[in-house]
Amino acid sequence: MLNQPLDIIFPEVPNDIDINELDIDNLPTHVSIIMDGNGRWAKLRGKKRLFGHNAGRNSLREVVRCSSDLGIKYLSCYSFSTENWARPKEEVAGLMELFAKSILAEMDELHKNNVKIKIVGDISRFPQKTQDAFNKAVEMMKNNTGIVLMPAVNYGSRDEILRAVGAYAKDHSEQPSEEEFSKYLYTDNIPDPDLLIRTSGEMRISNYLLWQIAYSELYVTDTLWPDFDRYEYLKALIAYQKRNRRYGGV
Ligand code: IPE
Ligand code: IPE
Ligand code: MG
């Protein structure tokens, strides 16, 4: 169910999009995004990579707001992978700083919009300040009933699966069912993504939600993450609704 009228959510639809193609009764329950292309976006402007990460924050704010207005229940977003530690020290430190700063700055607005936060990944390796910001936001919004925003941070799917295998084996000796095993993943209780969007044109998964995206619809756009706005999002949603999800059936 929409939380805002469609013409408020999308006030200036560009000519190349037909908003009537959007079926508001058939929106995805869970949208997941690999937010990629910040570095290239900055480079095109002769700036440092962190300039791009900073700009990416606006895209995320817009997509969260738009998703919440559309009544989408879950939004997960790949923000820092277990492999991203390999980046230059300055970039990693800048990202940690940016996470802390943006969470604290956006928290009240998110709370007002009834957003709930669930962290996907292990933030215990993050600087204390960044961990504190995440934990503060989770705690503040824990009783909210609106969209569940799931930042994937220090997240890697293989790491997640290995942790789950280890934890499961401690509790049981027999082979789990898919459903039992899923309970040991970070995404316990969260339905699998219906739609997975990747920006910046890369045709790969980069160790993201390997288990959970078994039957997700994939949408890749060349648009770089800082340029991804509500209308790019609308295009992805319309494309998703044209897919025929068969789940192996006919
Ligand atoms: C995605 O943008 C953000 C993170 C991985 C943190 P990139 O930083 O990967 O940008 P590109 O891919 O180099 O353009
Ligand atoms: C995936 O992007 C991780 C995030 C968006 C946080 P990367 O830029 O790290 O992925 P690769 O290196 O292009 O596969
Ligand atoms: Mg990248």
Ligand 2 pocket member 34 (CB < 6 A): yes
Ligand 1 pocket member 208 (CB < 6 A): no
pLDDT attached to residue 158: 98
Atom 13 of ligand 1 has which residue's CA nearest to it?
39
Q: Cα of 56 to ligand 1 centre, how many Å?
A: 10
Q: Cα of 73 to ligand 1 centre, how many Å?
A: 26
* Catalytic choice (15, 18, 36, 159): 36
Q: Which of 233, 223, 227, 95 is nearest to 154 (CA)?
A: 95
pLDDT attached to residue 136: 98
pLDDT attached to residue 142: 98
Q: Cα of 114 to ligand 2 centre, how many Å?
A: 29
* Catalytic choice (3, 84, 114, 135): 84
* Among the bound ligands, the one closest to the CA of 204: 2
* Among the bound ligands, the one closest to the CA of 43: 1
Atom 3 of ligand 1 has which residue's CA nearest to it?
36
- Let me know if 194 is a catalytic residue: no
Q: Cα of 32 to ligand 1 centre, how many Å?
A: 16
CA angle 10, 15, 16 (to 5 degrees): 100
Q: Cα of 175 to ligand 1 centre, how many Å?
A: 38
- Let me know if 144 is a catalytic residue: no
In this prediction the pTM is 0.98
**Per-residue pLDDT in tens (0 to 9) along the chain, 250 residues:** 999 999 999 999 999 999 999 999 999 999 999 999 999 999 999 999 999 999 999 999 999 999 999 999 999 999 999 999 999 999 999 999 999 999 999 999 999 999 999 999 999 999 999 999 999 999 999 999 999 999 999 999 999 999 999 999 999 999 999 999 999 999 999 999 999 999 999 999 999 999 999 999 999 999 999 999 999 999 999 999 999 999 999 9
pLDDT attached to residue 93: 98
Q: Which of 33, 58, 200, 202 to mutate to test the pocket of ligand 1 (most atoms within 8 A of CB)?
A: 200
Atom 2 of ligand 2 has which residue's CA nearest to it?
36
